[in-house]
Chain A
């Protein structure tokens, strides 16, 4: 059996269906199986990335019917890179989350692991599918798992956050369904490559309507303003490993869906300007809100939303340099934000109200965690020599190329705001008066290894950005090359190239 993209889907599925049975044999199995699956994901990513590097595209036919009659899975350099990143992050999050909660019931353990693993699988599915209705189905997988995980803890306001998320998410799905409906009547197909080919036959008014519906639908998952009201609640109420997965994995899938639709399916000029404006508004409002927060995880959530706004601005600028910079930002943000959420969740574990002020002086008791949090904070605001510096630099230079002075000024101003609220936390960690009798959550070695790996990655990319820039430049070129995508999907007859 050759390794192909479908492995990303069916291996976790087999595990998910088998866990209820296997857990009868051994109570610890639900903890271990996702680790094996997610590690296998890393192996497949390795193999597939080699292939995509040589060939350019991998398109796999499902059920023996070539696209557009059947569904196909497709890996491009951009999606391949994202999925590999998600696989690695998924495994690290599992490693971090192994025995995260001290006391947990068997049934809860089973549900938690199944849901967490399938959420990651759903995100991967969104990215590798080549069919727009299939995209909707995977989006629903992500929505349902994410809502259930948000409401996992019993005591806090998880149920409220989950309900809000579900409501807004349900509305988003309805919008996307409506868009697919109208699109189908116009082009007669559901395959993304064929839709891209036939898009020019659709009358402009209808095109705009469909685009608006898609933007509303995906914007909710990609946390665009004003559709991101659910995010701060969900991020702060979910368990630590889950919020990390939200920030590092789920939101990337939402952004990818939005970008794939705008770049490949549509050809409207105004869409790019819209991305810039929407990204700008999102970033400004989110970062301003982050300033006011007293709850650490909410602050991190708003910061995440702001960074995604920045990524959308970069995608909206549309040049090869800008798209490359946006991809670089996604890579860095995934690593850095995951680290911040991991360390943040540990710092907050024993605090009742989860406020920043409860962190005073903890650096002395948890030096390892605090230094990693500080590294993450420095990296995300863009200080050299950390990785975040490069992505911000490239975005600013792409904006300068197109002489968008307003953008440069705004991004710099927002960076200053970021510095203020992150340094506030770091100073509380290190320089405030500490209390010695507060209970502190000491993480185990597996969590420490995960966080250390992420921290090292931040340093390595910071010092040697060329490790990834070449690859990402290629990915950016291919994203903008719509014609070859269409040609590759529709003209291949065999299964895997």
Chain B
């Protein structure tokens, strides 16, 4: 009975949503004339290359125009890691009892991962260093690196991430990001302003502080995601 009721409710909700989206034509040009600055998207598209020196408009939006959002997001990840650690907290006595889940991994997987791991990490680092030139960036690159670590964690029970070093990287990366923001304030401008030389568009060194911020974010995300995976995999096996 409950199932019927819920299905009817969902159909109604779906109908209302569909109705709303009929009004929003797919592929319709909603950013207007790019030169006229009617919408923020128009401004971003026409001015990013000149004003920030960054080729990837989305990177410019995420790191520069809406940098506070990215700072908030990095904070959310940090808090999620802290929250996870606090929810699954183990006192010192229990720490010895827990071990990583014994996941079955075949010989093929183990030998394959040994080759893939450095390649994946390299790809991830490449993605977040080139975030301002090609699609990608700190978050995407960091996730790729974490995927590499995940493969290692699943395949090798003995593979241990250095918890201490991860805490250092995480905290330092976070402090650098906020530090760059404060640097903007100290030099008389606004928080997180891009104050250094912009350079030539499409070269590796361009965009001022933007690639630096993204690299910092890339490291932070990689370390945090690996930390989360490590905590989630290290639960006491049922006796």
Question: A and B from one assembly?
Answer: yes
Find chain A residues with CB under 8 A from B91 CB. 105
Question: Do residues A140 and B76 form an inter-chain contact, with CB atoms below 8 A?
Answer: yes
Residue among B66, B78, B170 with max Cβ neighbours from chain A (10 Å): B66
Given A141-B79, A206-B20, A209-B20, check contact A188 B72 (CB 8 Å).
Answer: no
**Separation of A189 and B85 alpha carbons in the complex (Å):** 38
Given A10-B181, A62-B191, A137-B69, check contact A182 B82 (CB 8 Å).
Answer: no
Question: Do residues A203 and B23 form an inter-chain contact, with CB atoms below 8 A?
Answer: yes
**Separation of A287 and B44 alpha carbons in the complex (Å):** 51
Q: Chain A: interface residue count, which band?
A: 35 or more
Query: Does A60 touch B at the CB level, under 8 Å?
Result: yes
Query: Does A13 touch B at the CB level, under 8 Å?
Result: yes
Query: Does B186 touch A at the CB level, under 8 Å?
Result: yes
CB distance from A208 to the nearest CB of B (A): 10
**Separation of A14 and B175 alpha carbons in the complex (Å):** 6
Q: What does the 1/0 interface line of A1-25 toward B look like (CB < 8 Å)?
A: 1001010011001101110110000
Find chain B residues with CB under 8 A from A185 CB. 24, 30
Query: Does B135 touch A at the CB level, under 8 Å?
Result: no
Find chain B residues with CB under 8 A from A62 CB. 67-68, 190-192
Query: Does A82 touch B at the CB level, under 8 Å?
Result: no
Q: What does the 1/0 interface line of B11-51 toward A look like (CB < 8 Å)?
A: 00000100110011000001110000011110110000000
Find chain A residues with CB under 8 A from B79 CB. 16, 114-115, 118, 141, 144-145, 148
Find chain A residues with CB under 8 A from B181 CB. 6, 10
CB-CB nearest in chain B for A61: B190
Stretch with Cβ within 8 A of B (4 or more), from A67-75, A457-465, A471-479: A67-75
Find chain A residues with CB under 8 A from B194 CB. 63-64
CB-CB nearest in chain A for B51: A65
CB distance from A154 to the nearest CB of B (A): 8
Query: Does A318 touch B at the CB level, under 8 Å?
Result: no
Question: Do residues B75 and A13 form an inter-chain contact, with CB atoms below 8 A?
Answer: yes
Q: What does the 1/0 interface line of A42-77 toward B look like (CB < 8 Å)?
A: 000000000000000000111111001111000000
Question: Do residues A189 and B39 form an inter-chain contact, with CB atoms below 8 A?
Answer: yes
Question: Do residues B184 and A188 form an inter-chain contact, with CB atoms below 8 A?
Answer: no
**Separation of A439 and B20 alpha carbons in the complex (Å):** 61
Q: What does the 1/0 interface line of B188-204 toward A look like (CB < 8 Å)?
A: 01111110000000000
Question: Do residues B83 and A111 form an inter-chain contact, with CB atoms below 8 A?
Answer: yes
Given A6-B185, A144-B83, A152-B86, check contact A70 B65 (CB 8 Å).
Answer: yes
Question: Do residues A147 and B83 form an inter-chain contact, with CB atoms below 8 A?
Answer: yes
Question: Do residues B83 and A17 form an inter-chain contact, with CB atoms below 8 A?
Answer: no
Question: Do residues B175 and A18 form an inter-chain contact, with CB atoms below 8 A?
Answer: yes
CB distance from B67 to the nearest CB of A (A): 5
Query: Does A294 touch B at the CB level, under 8 Å?
Result: no
Find chain A residues with CB under 8 A from B20 CB. 182, 205-206, 209
Query: Does A134 touch B at the CB level, under 8 Å?
Result: yes
Query: Does B98 touch A at the CB level, under 8 Å?
Result: no
Question: Do residues A148 and B83 form an inter-chain contact, with CB atoms below 8 A?
Answer: yes
Query: Does B178 touch A at the CB level, under 8 Å?
Result: yes
**Separation of A148 and B80 alpha carbons in the complex (Å):** 8
Question: Do residues B24 and A14 form an inter-chain contact, with CB atoms below 8 A?
Answer: no
Find chain A residues with CB under 8 A from B40 CB. 68-69, 188-191
Query: Does B174 touch A at the CB level, under 8 Å?
Result: yes
Find chain B residues with CB under 8 A from A147 CB. 83
- B-contacting residues, A154-198, CB 8 Å: 154, 159, 162, 182, 185, 188-191
Question: Do residues A495 and B89 form an inter-chain contact, with CB atoms below 8 A?
Answer: no
Question: Do residues B69 and A134 form an inter-chain contact, with CB atoms below 8 A?
Answer: yes
Query: Does A108 touch B at the CB level, under 8 Å?
Result: yes
CB distance from A497 to the nearest CB of B (A): 13
CB-CB nearest in chain B for A66: B190
Given A13-B178, A115-B83, check contact A188 B171 (CB 8 Å).
Answer: no
CB distance from B22 to the nearest CB of A (A): 10
Query: Does B168 touch A at the CB level, under 8 Å?
Result: yes
**Separation of A154 and B66 alpha carbons in the complex (Å):** 39
CB-CB nearest in chain B for A125: B72
**Separation of A63 and B82 alpha carbons in the complex (Å):** 28
Contact of A148 among B44, B68, B87, B189 (CB under 8 A): B87
Find chain A residues with CB under 8 A from B99 CB. none
Query: Does B228 touch A at the CB level, under 8 Å?
Result: no
Question: Do residues A63 and B76 form an inter-chain contact, with CB atoms below 8 A?
Answer: no
**Separation of A60 and B76 alpha carbons in the complex (Å):** 23
CB-CB nearest in chain B for A154: B89
Query: Does B71 touch A at the CB level, under 8 Å?
Result: yes
Query: Does B8 touch A at the CB level, under 8 Å?
Result: no
Query: Does B64 touch A at the CB level, under 8 Å?
Result: yes
CB distance from B175 to the nearest CB of A (A): 5
Q: What does the 1/0 interface line of B116-140 toward A look like (CB < 8 Å)?
A: 0000000000000000000000000
Find chain A residues with CB under 8 A from B186 CB. 1
Question: Do residues B167 and A63 form an inter-chain contact, with CB atoms below 8 A?
Answer: no
Question: Do residues B16 and A209 form an inter-chain contact, with CB atoms below 8 A?
Answer: yes
- A-contacting residues, B159-174, CB 8 Å: 167-168, 170-172, 174
Q: What does the 1/0 interface line of A116-157 toward B look like (CB < 8 Å)?
A: 001000000100000101100110110011011001101000
Query: Does A107 touch B at the CB level, under 8 Å?
Result: yes
Question: Do residues B31 and A63 form an inter-chain contact, with CB atoms below 8 A?
Answer: no
Question: Do residues A1 and B171 form an inter-chain contact, with CB atoms below 8 A?
Answer: no
Known: A134-B69, A137-B69. 6 other contacts (CB 8 A): A14-B182, A16-B174, A63-B67, A63-B184, A148-B82, A188-B40
Query: Would you list the 10 A-B pairs with minimal beta carbon distance, nearest first?
Result: A148-B83, A188-B39, A17-B174, A64-B193, A111-B86, A137-B72, A63-B192, A63-B67, A6-B191, A21-B171
Measuring CB to CB, which residues of chain A are less than 8 angstroms from any residue of chain B?
1, 4, 6, 9-10, 13-14, 16-18, 20-21, 60-65, 68-71, 105, 107-108, 111-112, 114-115, 118, 125, 131, 133-134, 137-138, 140-141, 144-145, 147-148, 151-152, 154, 159, 162, 182, 185, 188-191, 203, 205-206, 209, 495
14 CB < 8 A contacts A-B: A21-B167, A62-B190, A62-B192, A63-B68, A63-B191, A63-B193, A64-B184, A69-B44, A71-B66, A111-B83, A147-B83, A188-B30, A188-B41, A205-B19
